[in-house]
Structure 1
Amino acid sequence: MRKTDGRDAEVVVIGAGMAGLACAADLVAAGVRVMLLEAADTVGGRVATDRVHGFTADRGFQVLNTAYPQVKRRFDLRALRLRPFTPGVLVHTGGELRRFTDPTRRLRDSRDLLPGRLAGPRDLVALGVLSARDMLAPAARLRARPDGTTLTALADAGFSPAFVESFFRPFLSGVFLEDELETSARFFHLVWRTLLRGTACLPADGMGALPAQLAAGLPRSVLRTGTPVLSLTPDGVVLADGSELTAAATVVATGQSAAVRLLPGLAVPSGRTVTTLYHAVGRSPLAEPTLIVDGRRRFLNTCVLTEVHPGYSSDGRALVSTSVLGTPGPADEATVRAALGEVYGTDTGTWETVHRVTVQDALPAMPPPWPLSRSTRFAPGRYVCGDHRATGSLQGALASGTRAAREVLTDLRTSVPAPPRDGG
């Protein structure tokens, strides 16, 4: 490792979201002197949990998929006290709920997959072939496929337009945060693979427990919260209070908007915005931990979080989470409430709105051809990581942070500055 006498740190990492935490952890493990700076008072970025009126409400609807390689590598899953969702989803279509489930896990709940209910014979065959290929093929093969839109990929796989509209579009809208199915087909296949291989879960203390666990594994001298960075200098960074920190390398691990501010010329994708409404209900409207999607697309998805983890409520009331695209106004919220009454088969007039959170840039837009991983090198001594440099997922953020640490270590050890990159 090259000497950095007189520097505050060998590497400054800006942003203690999932990418920044992963990057800092790997650099620390390699013996690098790291300073991790976070503008907020807590770590996690968008992966955060609010405590509101006695309820545990994540910063938007989020789940942990146990099939993500980075999740397996980095977290003590037992300590998170995970509880699973039901494998599969309920689809509200034609005025009733139909169950779409993995028959290899819950055969007794697969009657709605019989021909003529959710899908016809052609679609069931296409579904079996698609699922077998995505689940069993090496991930590298999925990444190497020619790219296109998800909509085109589903048509090429043999699915009828009716099945795409009744199931794939409403379900994937909640995954991609867009309802045109214009997201990269390569990413779709990887997502489908993880859904088949893993289990969607929630930690007992909310998704904020994930970054908290990563932060707890860092030396106390590494992390500084409440420390916004104003700008970068040739030798390090300028903090909002005017002080300067010097470092051999700087990693920008913020969200994409802040990254552009710190790295002028950086090309980033547009972001998707999502709003999640949290309602308190006296009695659970659905006695199972299952996600519901709306075939009429009045909302993305809804579920009773307290059926997954009863501890998400401190007073025994049920907590219902519902997500919608964009930023709904009062009239839109009224439409959503009416739709929830139809879907759950109950009067929602007395449901209490206990929390509402809108997340800007919740996911990057990923149109084809989308590079599933990109170098984090931006300029000599400057790096950038985050899900916008990989894929819009927890896996993508952690993997990008991992790659940033690897590239920083390579450049520090060779003492050769990284070659300038274009803004992409």
Structure 2
Amino acid sequence: MSDIDADVIVVGAGIAGLRCAAALHRRGLTARVLEADTAPGGRIRTDVVDGFRCDRGFQLLNPSYPAVRRHVDVDALDLRTAGRGVRVVDGSGRSRTLADPTRHPGLLAATVRSAVGLGLVRPRAVVGAARWALPALGPVRRLESAPDAALAADWDRLGVRGPLRESILSPFLSGVLADGVGDTSDRYVRLVLRSFLLATPGVPDRGMQAFPEQLARAEGVDVTYSARVERVTDGAVPEVGVADGATLRARAVVIATDASDAADLTAAATSPMRGLSTWWFDADGLEPDAFLRISGAGGVVVNTAQLSAIAPGYAPPGRTLVEATTLLGDAGPAEEAAVRAELTRLWATSTASWRVIVHHDVTRALPVQAAGTPLRRPLRTGERVLVAGDHRDTPSIQGALVSGGRAAAEVARLLS
């Protein structure tokens, strides 16, 4: 075919699209990536404002993910890890620390006191937590094939109740999953738990966008930016219509966008998406603290952290950058006054002087992984059109990388 623009056109320069393009190149196929935005990363972007690096949504990179170990130069990213544990703040503002003693031996006594004070050492609570968590340490294949249920329902069945659930697991996981009601697949949540147990997540010192920028520099990855795709036509020689009026032709097309855009461009059934809001503050009056904070007493803020204490490159010298994440539902984002009031309690200091650097409402933060949803979904949507992304595998960086590689392998078989 001499009248094609590339063997494969990849729509979207997010994690799945970039991984797909690199894998296609290794298989001897040319790929052209079309990206609507002006930089790679999709939902992973970093805004630099007044010298502060503010990610669009509080995101972490887990070096334990197999696909990250295989395809990402983590050392080159200068990954900075958070404290291995959490600080749980009650309704009166009292903070209790739960830290991994193997990483933070000096906090062992404080962790034991906190566990007792929070009621975590009650026999029934310990047994219920162990019954739920221990399978996460077993073989991945066994986890993937296990019966599935909604997280909240499985906790009920196993007896995960009381302070462990209400003050720690629910608030922590609601920020990780963008799920405030426990509808997410328990099978998937155990995979998430496994990744946290194996390694401590972190952020590149130059912001999360350094990660997709590294993928975009891989050999054979050719990205055209500001190229919004408006239509994809399947067939023996599929066509891609771009907003500037151009029509590109290829031997195959991979649509590596988020679930909503993939549904708009194809007839494929995709997952709905959940939203998160993230506030970034130029804060003062805080001692450096690299631990994530969660509320053990409810409230709008599902997590908050000093990014400048975790990764100094996120803030100018001598300044403090604090993020606060809230769920974003049909009612819209939380009011700034409510966020500030929560942060006053969580950090035990007035936030009146804290300046809002930027506020991101990420309406498409994560695909919904409902109970019973397969952990791996078909990619083909037509004769020569495929979809890829974290909505085809697990809603995670691991899922996006795996999906991009799967799409490249399937395209290679299709075109052989």
Mark yes or no: TM-score above 0.5. yes
Q: 1:412 to 1:118 in 2, by over 3 A?
A: farther
* 1:357 shift after superposition: 0.8
String of CA shifts for 1:186-209, please: whole Å, max 9, x gaps: 101100100100111110111101
Q: Contact between 1:286 and 1:304, CA under 8 Å: does it hold in 2?
A: no
Q: Contact between 1:65 and 1:201, CA under 8 Å: does it hold in 2?
A: yes
Partner of 1:388: 391
After superposing on structure 2, the runs of 4+ consecutive aligned residues of structure 1 that deviate more than 6 Å are 327-331
* 1:218 shift after superposition: 3.2
Instruction: Determine whether 1:176 maps to 2:153.
Output: no
Partner of 2:136: 134
- Which runs of 5 or more structure 2 residues have no equivalent in the other structure? none
Match among 229, 239, 242 for residue 242 of structure 2: 239
CA distance in 2, matches of 1:346, 1:93: 15
Partner of 1:397: 400
Partner of 1:362: 365
Partner of 2:205: 204
**Match runs of 1:300-339 below 5 Å:** 300-326=302-328, 332-339=335-342
Partner of 1:123: 125
CA distance in 2, matches of 1:371, 1:197: 24
For 2:88, give the aligned amino acid.
V
CA distance in 2, matches of 1:289, 1:164: 23
String of CA shifts for 1:75-118, please: whole Å, max 9, x gaps: 11111011110111111124211223334443542324544534
* 1:345 shift after superposition: 0.8
* 1:273 shift after superposition: 1.0
CA distance in 2, matches of 1:331, 1:409: 46
Query: TM-score under structure 2 normalisation?
Result: 0.93
CA distance in 2, matches of 1:124, 1:279: 37
Q: Contact between 1:170 and 1:297, CA under 8 Å: does it hold in 2?
A: no
Q: What is the root-mean-square deviation in Å for CA atoms of aligned residues?
A: 1.8
* 1:367 shift after superposition: 1.2
Moved more, 228-237 or 357-366: 228-237
Match among 261, 273, 276 for residue 274 of structure 1: 276
CA distance in 1, matches of 2:333, 2:232: 41
Match among 252, 255, 259 for residue 256 of structure 1: 259
For 2:313, give the aligned amino acid.
G
Aligned with 1:355: secondary structure?
strand
Q: 1:198 to 1:331 in 2, by over 3 A?
A: closer
Moved more, 205-214 or 147-156: 147-156
* 1:12 shift after superposition: 0.6
CA distance in 2, matches of 1:16, 1:374: 21
Partner of 1:70: 67
CA distance in 1, matches of 2:219, 2:39: 14
* 1:282 shift after superposition: 2.8
Partner of 1:195: 196
Partner of 1:165: 166
* 1:315 shift after superposition: 4.4
Q: Contact between 2:300 and 2:327, CA under 8 Å: does it hold in 1?
A: no
Q: 1:380 to 1:314 in 2, by over 3 A?
A: same
For 1:32, give the aligned amino acid.
L
Q: Contact between 1:177 and 1:325, CA under 8 Å: does it hold in 2?
A: yes
Partner of 1:412: 415
For 2:182, give the aligned amino acid.
L
For 2:411, give the aligned amino acid.
V
For 1:57, give the aligned amino acid.
C
Partner of 1:101: 99
Q: Contact between 1:270 and 1:364, CA under 8 Å: does it hold in 2?
A: yes
* 1:329 shift after superposition: 6.9
* 1:326 shift after superposition: 1.1
Q: Contact between 1:54 and 1:315, CA under 8 Å: does it hold in 2?
A: no
CA distance in 2, matches of 1:292, 1:114: 16
Instruction: Determine whether 1:43 maps to 2:46.
Output: no
Aligned with 2:277: secondary structure?
strand
**Match runs of 1:136-155 below 5 Å:** 137-155=138-156
Query: TM-score under structure 1 normalisation?
Result: 0.91
CA distance in 2, matches of 1:203, 1:331: 28
Q: 1:162 to 1:199 in 2, by over 3 A?
A: closer
Q: 1:282 to 1:297 in 2, by over 3 A?
A: closer
CA distance in 2, matches of 1:79, 1:87: 22
For 1:173, give the aligned amino acid.
S
Aligned with 1:377: secondary structure?
coil
Partner of 1:228: 228
Q: 1:331 to 1:232 in 2, by over 3 A?
A: closer
For 1:145, give the aligned amino acid.
A
Q: Contact between 1:375 and 1:403, CA under 8 Å: does it hold in 2?
A: no
Moved more, 57-66 or 98-107: 98-107
CA distance in 1, matches of 2:395, 2:332: 26
Match among 43, 50, 53 for residue 50 of structure 2: 53
Q: Contact between 1:286 and 1:344, CA under 8 Å: does it hold in 2?
A: no
Q: 1:406 to 1:93 in 2, by over 3 A?
A: same
- Which runs of 5 or more structure 1 residues have no equivalent in the other structure? 414-424
* 1:330 shift after superposition: 8.6
